[in-house]
Amino acid sequence: MKAPKPTLIVGGAGFIGTNLADSLLSDGGKVIIFDNLSRPGVERNLDWLRAKHGANLDFVIGDVRDRASLRPVVRNAGQVFHFAAQVAVTTSLVDPIEDFERNALGTLNLLEEIRRLDQPPPLAFTSTNKVYGALDDIALVERETRYEPAAASVLRSGVSESRNLDFHSPYGCSKGTADQYVLDYARSFGLKTFVFRMSCIYGPHQFGTEDQGWVAHFLLQVLRDFPITLYGDGRQVRDVLFVEDLVGAFRLAMSNVDRITGRAFNMGGGPKNAISLLELLRHIDKMHGSLPRIQFDEWRVGDQRYYVSDTSAFQRATGWSPKVSVTKGIRELYQWLRSSETQEAKAKAKLPAAVAL
């Protein structure tokens, strides 16, 4: 009997890919990570995976814009998770062409390499809630620390997949294009594919920035005593999902891929795990004991004042539900980042002093 083919994680040295790889490897699987290592911090993730899992992890450096480099890794894969992307709205506004090439063309390259095989592996793709646009038509009530939908049904359940697509910003357009290609390749070519339209994911191995990964970014700024900038008024709300719950959703989805192929699911923590920026700062202040300077700036293009995922479609399809609460998840990430910052500081302290010439 042949051994199962390894799992290919495209963009696998990133935060989500690292957590998924660790889960699969810990259960005795083999994983191929394909990544161009362009995002800060990913080398640390890769080193950690290698130290923990050794030969069961194979790393291939490459870029999804180079279709030829995808061919050998796709050919050897039993299942594929596609996480490689340009991830920031702000960056897409600066260079829309590069954003398109990474997100839309890169995804099409991967789909074509899968399609050319006699036995194509199933594909999971991470899309974004930005495919629904700014959601300006959702009437909101302004509370002290957050916005809430005026409609009780939206407040109770969140935004569902039945909502019309409305790509906003070059990033929304490129990810939305990829989203639709992934779904159509199931319909037109019979590939086994599914899409998660992601809300805010957070957890260990996330080195968040101002443009992406805001929960981790806020925590890092606090730990470093750097100022935090809120764009808008800080009342904007997102549902946050701890990465451990996301990994469980991915694995459950792959085990049910025959039943869910060709479908897109909103993926996040849902209404029970909704939090505003101001509320996150209150959590952090209580946990850390203080906050750095908070400053405000103008709203950014395409920023949704309220987005919470209705995950009921995926729950009905698979039985999945998130288990990690906001309070527990934030504390776990805080502790992981604090430990990581301490380790990095110790490593820098051991470096030899520069020699003046």
> Tens of pLDDT along 56-68?
999 999 999 999 9
The average confidence (pLDDT) of the chain is 94
- Kindly state whether residue 1 falls inside one of the protein's structural domains: no
| Cβ atoms 267, 241 nearer than 8 A | yes
- Kindly state whether residue 293 falls inside one of the protein's structural domains: yes
**β-sheet with 123-128: strand ranges across:** 57-61, 31-35, 7-10, 79-82, 123-128, 193-198, 263-267
- Kindly state whether residue 357 falls inside one of the protein's structural domains: no
Amino acid residing at 344: E
- Kindly state whether residue 231 falls inside one of the protein's structural domains: yes
For the cut 50, the answer to whether the pLDDT of residue 355 exceeds it is no
For the cut 80, the answer to whether the pLDDT of residue 161 exceeds it is yes
Boundaries of domain holding 58: 7-340
Mean pLDDT of 169-182: 96
> Tens of pLDDT along 58-114?
999 999 999 999 999 999 999 999 999 998 888 999 999 999 999 999 999 999 999
pLDDT of amino acid 117: 98
Whose tokens are 């191929």? That residue is 32
We report the CATH number of the domain holding residue 183 as 3.40.50.720
Mean pLDDT of 291-301: 92
| Cβ atoms 218, 282 nearer than 8 A | no
Residue 195 tokens read as 């899409």
| Cβ atoms 64, 38 nearer than 8 A | no
- Kindly state whether residue 172 falls inside one of the protein's structural domains: yes
- Kindly state whether residue 350 falls inside one of the protein's structural domains: no
pLDDT of amino acid 324: 98
User: Which is nearest to 146 in space by CA: 289, 321, 51, 279?
Assistant: 279
Count of structural domains, the chain: 1
pLDDT of amino acid 356: 33
Active site residues: 171
For the cut 90, the answer to whether the pLDDT of residue 351 exceeds it is no
Give the containing element (helix H, strand E) for 53: helix 42-53
Mean pLDDT of 13-19: 96
Question: What share of residues in the chain are helix, strand, coil (percent, to 5)?
Answer: 45, 20, 35
pTM of the model: 0.93
> Tens of pLDDT along 192-229?
999 999 999 999 999 888 778 899 999 999 999 999 99
Q: How confident is the model at residue 354 (pLDDT cuts 50, 70, 90)?
A: very low
- Kindly state whether residue 345 falls inside one of the protein's structural domains: no
pLDDT of amino acid 342: 80
Neighbour-count burial of 295, counting CB atoms closer than 10 A to its CB (0-12 exposed, 13-18 middle, 19+ buried): exposed
Mean pLDDT of 296-319: 93
- Kindly state whether residue 322 falls inside one of the protein's structural domains: yes
